Chain A
Amino acid sequence: MNRPRLITTLIVLVIAAFVLSLLIGPARIGPVASIEALIAGGNEAAMIIMREIRLPRALLAVLIGFSLGVAGAALQGLLRNPLAEPGIIGISASASLGAVLLFYTGLAGVSLLALPAGALTGAALCVLVLLVISAAQASTITLILAGVALASLAGALTSLVLNLSPNPYASYEIIFWLLGSLKDRTMDHVWLVIPLMVLGWAALWASSRTLDALSLGEEGASGLGANIPRARVLIVCGVALCVGAATAVSGAIGFIGLIVPHLVRPLTNRLPSQLLLPAGLGGAALLTIADIVARTIIPERELNVGVVTALIGAPFFLWLVIRSRRELF
């Protein structure tokens, strides 16, 4: 599929999912009335529901899905490993741990900024550890195992911190941090993540040509004039910003960065730089749809959106691992 057509199709898909997300909710407002309330006002209750409840939720699904998709594609390009994904290799869980450490212990005075600051730090530290491991010419298996170990450790420590909190609600909030949720998010959350994510996208985009050069290996890339240490820094920062901002607001949502690049890669020319935008758009669409499923699949109840992405992603991951005994991509 040629690139303009791919991008256009994906954009249409994102918009369709976004609109559908706006129209679905427990308060049955008709489609026309919904859009009217969103844009023009009118019925006050409908306007509040649309603008303060549904709009932030749909926007966050698109923004977070995009960021996770792009971060996944960039990580795969840098680590030259199609199984690299922020959730599987522990970056989301580390971001959760960072956020939890800073917020629940009351270390940060201003609670609104504590969460993203902690999440960014947690994510960055995890990526650095993984870079060190992968630099030692480690195999795919080693990298994935290290990531899984980091994810387990981060999850256990998160649970520990929450259980030690004097606030009785804290230990129940583990579900949010490990499985993610977009429920009852506000426009404040949207404004909080936008600058962080835009910076992250910019950092990843800036390193994209180096990712292409890395297709020829580190020596080959270096011979083409690529500054590999600089690209590493850019990608660490970009992934930390994208995944950190997302996790701070929605908890750890996994598998988006794994599924989407795999689905989209065969439709591109497979150069890593060409994969970034389609992976982002695909991630936005996938997360929005997953969030709709999480809200509607069981009547009167809401699932954590990370449960839905894991139900799709984990079997997909297993299938990839089994298939990798031949050629992986």
Chain B
Amino acid sequence: MQLSARNVSVSLSGRQVLNGVDLDLEPGEVTGLLGPNGAGKSTLMRALAGQLTHQGHVEIDGQAIAGMSEVERARITAWLPQQRVLSWPISVQAVVELGRLPWHGWRRVMSQADREKCAAAMELLDVTGLAGRPATELSGGEQARVLMARAVAQDTPVLVADEPASGLDPAHQISMMAALRQLAGQGRTVFVSLHDLSLAARWCDRLVLMKDGAIAADGAPDEVMTDTTLRDVYGISARIGRDECGLWLAPLGLTEGGMGNG
């Protein structure tokens, strides 16, 4: 399903965080959202996931999400917030099963189909072996995978994830991105925000670069990751190269013009 933002603006505590953002996210590709701190990435994601009141429209396949109930929205978009919260030491299995809540609300019994979806999600994120462990006792990386598995178990056409790979070691970062590519390959719309430029450049089909509440660049990694944009948006210089697998990028240092205000 196509997820679109039409002239979305958000102001928080008197400050204009998003300024008339227009964006179309297509199914079947992984779109990465980049930008310096304070650019408005989390706010945009929250608006697209229907978690935030905003001006303008957010639409799914042309239908405004504003008119949908919370449950309808939860069946279309899975939202994975940046803050990883686990209030009770429930088992990994139970955490993943929470992803099925929008589908069987009042009914507490999981159907066979529910169980299969949970098992598939855990398999994809490689947490099947942790099923019985209390989720609060896991390492940061393991918890991140478990929470992503929950979002995957929600089995929605759209997945919006805010920095799902932050704090993970390189191996886990790569396996997380590989899982996201697999989900996109199934026809889902995948939108993730990332801090790691190299990871983003290599693993995303499309990049959206934000600065000061507006989109500064939008397109294939080749087009977006240029010296000009890196200098204008991040205020850094980097070495960019290409190999048989994709783009690679190594930040080198700050540019002399100083950083853009963020």
Contact = CB atoms under 8 A, between A and B. Distances in A.
Q: Tell me if chains A and B make direct contact, with any CB pair below 8 A.
A: yes
Contacts of B74: 223-225
Contacts of B78: 223
A231 to B, nearest CB: 11
A219 B69 CA distance: 16
A215 B86 contact: yes
A223 B49 contact: yes
A215 B135 CA distance: 11
B99 interface: yes
Contacts of A329: 88-89
Given A222-B51, A223-B78, A224-B74, A80 B87 contact: yes
A272 interface: yes
A216 B91 contact: no
B102 A224 contact: yes
B88 A215 contact: yes
Interface in B63-87: 69-75, 77-81, 83, 85-87
A220 B101 contact: no
A203 to B, nearest CB: 15
A133 interface: no
A262 interface: no
Interface string A271-315: 111000000000000000000000000000000000000000000
A327 B81 CA distance: 24
A237 B31 CA distance: 44
B155 to A, nearest CB: 12
Interface residues of B, number: 36
Contact of A216 (B72, B85, B105): B85
Q: Interface residue tally of chain A, by bracket?
A: 20 to 34
A209 B108 CA distance: 8
A288 B72 CA distance: 45
Contacts of A80: 87-88
A209 B106 contact: yes
B154 interface: yes
Given A209-B101, A219-B79, A269-B91, A224 B154 contact: yes
A217 interface: yes
Interface string A217-237: 101101111110000000000
A227 to B, nearest CB: 5
Contact of B81 (A220, A227, A269, A271): A220
16 contacts: A209-B105, A214-B87, A215-B86, A215-B90, A216-B150, A219-B85, A222-B79, A223-B74, A224-B74, A225-B72, A226-B70, A269-B91, A270-B88, A270-B90, A271-B88, A329-B89
| Closest A-B pairs by Cβ, 4 of them | A225-B74, A217-B85, A223-B79, A219-B81
Interface of A: 80, 209, 212-217, 219-220, 222-227, 269-273, 327, 329
Given A80-B88, A227-B70, 19 more contacts: A209-B108, A215-B88, A215-B90, A217-B83, A219-B79, A219-B81, A219-B83, A220-B79, A222-B51, A222-B79, A223-B51, A223-B80, A224-B101, A225-B69, A225-B72, A225-B105, A269-B91, A269-B94, A270-B88
